[in-house]
Amino acid sequence: MKPEKCSLCKGKLRRGVTDIVVEVEGRIISIKEIPAYICDECGEAYFTPEISRKIDNIMKKFHESKLSLHPIEAGELTLAEA
Is residue 53 assigned to a domain? yes
Is residue 35 assigned to a domain? yes
CATH of the domain at 52: 3.10.20.860
Q: Domain count of the chain?
A: 1
Domain that holds residue 25: 13-68
Tell me the pLDDT tens digit for each residue of 56-73.
Answer: 999 999 989 898 888 888
Tell me the pLDDT tens digit for each residue of 17-41.
Answer: 999 998 888 888 999 999 999 999 9
Q: Is 58:30 a contact under the CB 8 Å cutoff?
A: no
Is residue 43 assigned to a domain? yes
Is residue 7 assigned to a domain? no
Buried b or exposed e, range 6-16, using 16+ CB within 10 angstroms: beeeebebeee
Is residue 80 assigned to a domain? no
- Counting DSSP H helices and E strands in the chain, the numbers are 1, 3
Is residue 62 assigned to a domain? yes
